[in-house]
Amino acid sequence: MLMSQLYSPTLRETPSEAEIISHKLMLRAGLMRRSAAGMYAFLPLGLRVIRKVEQIIREEMNAIDGQEVLMPIIQPAELWEESGRWKDYGDEMFRLKDRQGRQFCLGPTHEEIVTALVRSEVRSYRQLPLRLYQIQNKYRDERRPRFGLMRGREFIMKDMYSFDRDHETLDQSYWAAYHAYKRIFERCGLEAHPVEADSGAIGGDVTHEFMVLAESGEDLVLFCEACEYAANAERAEGVRVPVQEGEKTAFEPLETVATPGASTIDQISAFLGVEPKDCIKTLIYLADGKPIAALVRGDHELNEIKLKKFLQCVELELADDETIFKVTKARTGFAGPVGLSIPCYADYAIEHIANAVVGANKDDHHTLNVNLDRDFQVTAFTDLKETQPGDPCPRCSGTLQGARGVEVGQVFKLGTKYSDAMSATFLNEDGKETPLVMGCYGIGVGRTVAAVIEKNYDEDGIIWPLSIAPYQVVVVPVSMKDEAQASAAQSLYEELQAEGIEVVLDDRDERPGVKFKDADLIGFPIRVTIGAKSLEQGQMEIIWRRTKEKQSLPIEAIVPTIKNFLRDGDQI
């Protein structure tokens, strides 16, 4: 490719729309442009990178007997009604109607379609296991698209679906995908950590997310410093510490005091001069419309995913002021567990608090010296708090540490959630009709590219790993006006092409600085510079983008050196 013809408009300055490094560099290097919030057009260089990642994914999916298919983006509402997700998906789903008024959506994911596809064709256990995957655009009307490819409303995703006869073979599919994912990210030059995760709206029980640690990550990942445990913070388990004999003594008498206007833990602890950890936060929720109370320690945050899961409810939301008044006889901010008549669920940590400060269920009042059993009872204790760095590991005696992570992939065991709902069954060896046991496995292709940049850049631009670089080599003659340089560059370019090496010739009549800056910004792993002086000595210069290391070599050594380098793989 000739640089003079390449449609890759580079920018000296960063467009104001970009905040994080990968987004800035993808715009500056001319890889993509925004067309609407959360939607991007890929330009030639950007597309080449995307295609390379896709190709790696294909190879690894095929290696575990995945078969590639391509399913429609536009999906009929009926299928989603069958699974019950037409309602559940809510505003995040792009919906549309055809001329007859029939309802469709732009697929946010493809469980329904693939289940429908398989149920009509798979009849026998002999056809299993079946692993189908596609690389396809997905559409989610995110409330807040951001950070370029990190969270788009249109994005490219590889999704595989496995169909098995039982949970044992699902297990094999699951771990096959898990290990394929490790290889995929490794080949893309990424260190992606599998962590235990929540399955969210997709459903299912066992699931891992593959996380690339980066400051710009939207998730908090917790790692045990001592053992292998790693989990998304929203999923990380809390630990129930047994109450020690004699831990809680000297119960003081109850006392209700005026706390005018102090409705948050911060205000109360400041007003009364107590520690937040000696307060109990009482949150009133509506679980499928019914009010319940949830208690967490004052310095803890409640994890709604855990509460929702524990209650097994479909909808969970913080109660409105009116409901709170009805339940507590007080304004929001003064609720407490004493005398409440609704079910009351408490985090494990509540067991340990003696002489707690709680809302008095009376406007502008709090109650001091509240104690479990003596003053209030709970319906159940469970794990409700948002786990934080510094908390104990649920698996060993270690301590959890936190890091930001970008979720580049996730693997789920779905079980029979969709096959049950959509009657996707097969006949087993006993001739019995049995639901297919499913798994699903996603990789965000664009997000993976963004994550690679987040981990591979310097002040001059992107540093592509060889495996996904848009081109491997750029040939830069210092001056195109110099006949000798121009023709030497041209012949090297042709020679590299003949060797099947992906190469760009910067044939522009620009000053060398401009070409060097663009080469660094775009991030070609290898640059060959051809200058007048070295050329007279029969030499050219190879520069490795990652290390900025330079090497002057005889002209005839250039191609073999590059070939060796490419063959030896991905160490740059």
Interface ranges with RNA (CB under 7 A): 10-17, 19, 28, 34, 36-38, 92, 109, 138, 140, 142-147, 155, 157, 198-202, 218, 304-305, 410, 442, 444, 447, 460, 478-479, 481-482, 509-514, 516-518, 520-521, 529-534, 541, 543, 548, 550
Residue ranges of E strands in 217-370: 219-224, 230-232, 255-258, 280-287, 290-297, 316-318, 344-347, 356-359, 365-370
Residue 372 carries which DSSP code?
B
Task: Give the nearest distance from C-beta 429 to RNA in angstroms.
Answer: 33
Residue 563 carries which DSSP code?
H
Residues forming a β-bridge with 282 = 295
Contact 208, 229 (CB under 8 A): no
Task: Give the nearest distance from C-beta 449 to RNA in angstroms.
Answer: 13
Closest CA to 385 of 350, 336, 344, 335: 350
Contact 338, 326 (CB under 8 A): no
Q: Give 56 or 530: the residue with its C-beta nearer to RNA.
A: 530
Task: Give the nearest distance from C-beta 432 to RNA in angstroms.
Answer: 31
Task: Give the nearest distance from C-beta 148 to RNA in angstroms.
Answer: 8
Q: Give 146 or 395: the residue with its C-beta nearer to RNA.
A: 146
452: helix, coil or strand?
helix
Task: Give the nearest distance from C-beta 559 to RNA in angstroms.
Answer: 17
Task: Give the nearest distance from C-beta 336 to RNA in angstroms.
Answer: 22
Kindly give, in sequence order, each residue whose CB lies less than 8 Å from that of residue 391, ignoring residues fewer than 6 positions away.
222, 236, 238, 239, 399, 400
CA 401 from centroid of its chain's CA atoms: 19
**Angle 311-317-320 from CA coordinates, rounded to 5°:** 130
Q: How far is CA 251 from CA 17, 73, 122, 365, 460, in A?
A: 58, 63, 66, 20, 64
Task: Give the nearest distance from C-beta 15 to RNA in angstroms.
Answer: 4
- Counting DSSP H helices and E strands in the chain, the numbers are 15, 31
Task: Give the nearest distance from C-beta 520 to RNA in angstroms.
Answer: 4
Q: Give 167 or 511: the residue with its C-beta nearer to RNA.
A: 511
Q: Give 357 or 535: the residue with its C-beta nearer to RNA.
A: 535
Contact 561, 553 (CB under 8 A): yes
Q: Give 151 or 165: the residue with its C-beta nearer to RNA.
A: 151
Residue with tokens 């959630």: 417
Task: Give the nearest distance from C-beta 269 to RNA in angstroms.
Answer: 20
Q: Give 274 or 295: the residue with its C-beta nearer to RNA.
A: 295
Q: Give 375 or 510: the residue with its C-beta nearer to RNA.
A: 510
Q: How far is CA 496 from CA 89, 214, 468, 471, 504, in A?
A: 51, 36, 18, 12, 10
Residue ranges of E strands in 302-385: 316-318, 344-347, 356-359, 365-370, 380-382
Task: Give the nearest distance from C-beta 343 to RNA in angstroms.
Answer: 20
Q: Give 60 or 159: the residue with its C-beta nearer to RNA.
A: 159
Q: Give 168 or 509: the residue with its C-beta nearer to RNA.
A: 509
Written as six digits, the tokens of 481 are: 């006006």
Q: How far is CA 350 from CA 173, 241, 250, 356, 417, in A?
A: 41, 11, 17, 9, 35
Q: Give 256 or 479: the residue with its C-beta nearer to RNA.
A: 479
Q: Give 373 or 509: the residue with its C-beta nearer to RNA.
A: 509
Task: Give the nearest distance from C-beta 161 to RNA in angstroms.
Answer: 13
Residue 215 carries which DSSP code?
T
Whether the ω angle into residue 276 lies within 30 degrees of 0, i.e. cis, is: no
Identify residue 345 by its one-letter amino acid code: Y
Task: Give the nearest distance from C-beta 177 to RNA in angstroms.
Answer: 13
Task: Give dist(CA 392, CA 351) in Å, integer.
Answer: 17
